[in-house]
């Protein structure tokens, strides 16, 4: 008669490390994304100051992925404003302003803010260095929380199934 022994499978350290890193990184991205969404939502209620555009252009970056390259265009608008006796310079147009594959979209955004023009700057009264010239939540503001949540789920499920499989063996 053949005797069969069972040995409990141990979770792979490399998989566990990947899952822990995914969980930690995802938690950080999720947290910062949620804070960004909160700021975007509150920005319409922030204090305002008069500002002036000090530069406005479009920057492009070539991204390479899987042997293919693509160009991503970013509207770059810098503005200066004064709160109390302090002068600030910022380049945040809105919360969630990310690049686009459409050059015309980036040119359109930058074109709304020609150099030398006057704008209303919305700044955080608790931290006047934090400001935007377009308030509210846009689609881009949801990207970081969504990506963070995916990493958290992958990490948590990976750890769960690693331990579950090792205990059931």
Domain boundaries, the chain: 27-168
Average pLDDT, the chain: 89
pLDDT recorded at residue 97:
75
Q: Is the pTM of this model over 0.85?
A: no
Split at pLDDT 50, 70, 90, the class of 100 is confident
Task: Tell me the mean pLDDT in the region 19-32.
Answer: 94
What is the structure's pLDDT at 1?
Answer: 59
- Compute the distance between CA of residue 35 and CA of residue 47 in angstroms, rounded to an integer: 19
Mean pLDDT of 53-61: 95
């Amino acid at each position: 008669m053949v005797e069969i022994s069972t040995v409990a499978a141990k979770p792979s350290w490399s998989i566990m490390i990947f899952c822990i890193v995914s969980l930690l990184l995802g938690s950080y991205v999720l947290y910062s994304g949620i804070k960004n969404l909160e700021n975007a939502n509150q920005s319409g209620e922030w204090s305002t100051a008069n500002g002036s555009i000090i530069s406005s252009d479009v920057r492009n970056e070539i991204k390479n992925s899987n042997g293919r390259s693509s160009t991503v265009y970013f509207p770059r608008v810098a503005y200066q404003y004064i709160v109390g006796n302090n002068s600030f310079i910022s380049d945040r147009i809105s919360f969630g302003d990310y690049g686009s594959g459409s050059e015309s979209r980036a040119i359109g955004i930058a074109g709304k803010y020609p150099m030398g023009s006057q704008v209303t700057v919305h700044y955080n009264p608790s931290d006047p260095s934090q400001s935007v010239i377009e308030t509210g939540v846009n689609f881009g503001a949801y990207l970081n929380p969504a990506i963070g949540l995916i990493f958290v789920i992958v990490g948590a499920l990976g750890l769960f199934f690693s331990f579950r499989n090792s205990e059931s063996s």
